[in-house]
Amino acid sequence: MQTVRLNNGIEMPILGFGVFQIPDAKECEKSVIDAIETSYRLIDTAASYMNEQAVGNAIKNCGVAREELFITTKLWVQDTGYENTKKSFHKSLERLQLEYLDLYLIHQPYGDVFGSWRAMEELYKEGKIRAIGVSNFQPDRIMDLLMFGGETPPAVNQVETHPFCQQIENQSFLQENNIQIESWGPFAEGKNNIFQNELLLALSAKYNKSVAQIILRWLTQRGVVVIPKSVRKERMEENFNSLDFELDEADMESIKTLDTKTSLFFDHRNPEIIKWMGSRKLDI
């Protein structure tokens, strides 16, 4: 497995397994065990996915040593703030049945982010978290956190990144500030008929790889950490085998023509989206 080195020196696998939208506990547990058997070592979940307990059961029963795994979870909006973050973190740790996390992210750029960051810095210094970061933060919110958040810069920013929303400028900004970009939604959840896209199909035929493998390799060649999800083991294997070839530079450039520079899901600066996320109370 290829890795990236985070700004605090720890190594993170460049290809992992995500469990968003696997709410069924048995299916989630089986999927994570299948992924680990397929050789995935990075597992990404979140309190708001409501499946941390299932992920924890899989980690406990997978037969792979804890120190070989890289486990990420995230703090939901309703639990921002110093005290709430400490409580939420320990609840996540309990559900995951772990002694520590490899990466803990603020899931959305709303609420008392600075209070949460102070709490996360303390947990990081105590060795409860190996790296801390954020998700869905725009460059201005990242800079705000860098300037006023505390001593520890975020190690990772997990953002929507796929052929139709490529985050080229955002990635450059993050690189300048020594923050690792990580993709969620690498396949755009199938939007815009991504698996039937003519350019991607042509590259699929050229390299004798699936469209999914082309997309994943395009991301990892850019140095983007990626966490595709599937509940089918053959798809997990297919995704994992995206690292055994390289796209040539001309083909990397051709994929840039697909970029709309617009989210296919939601605008994090839209007041209605902020209102919806702020009012979404989960039993976590």
pLDDT digits (tens, 9 = 90+) for 69-100: 999 999 999 999 999 999 999 999 999 999 99
Task: Please state, as a whole number, how many other Cβ atoms lie within 10 Å of the Cβ of residue 278.
Answer: 14
Average pLDDT over residues 238-244: 96
Residues 6+ apart with CB under 8 A from 24: none
Per-residue pLDDT of 148-157, as tens digits, reads 999 999 999 9
Between CA 78 and CA 58 the distance in angstroms is 27
| Residue 82 designated active-site | no
Between CA 60 and CA 42 the distance in angstroms is 15
pLDDT of 236 over the 90 cut: yes
pLDDT of residue 1: 87
Pairing status of strand 11-13 against strand 103-106 = unpaired
- Give the pLDDT band of residue 209 (cuts 50, 70, 90): very high
Question: What distance, in Å, lies between the first and last C-alpha atoms of the chain?
Answer: 33
Q: How would you label 240-272 residue by residue, b for 16+ Cβ within 10 Å and e otherwise?
A: bebbeeebeeebeebbeebeeeebeeeebeeee
Q: Using an 8 Å Cβ cutoff, are 45 and 184 in contact?
A: no
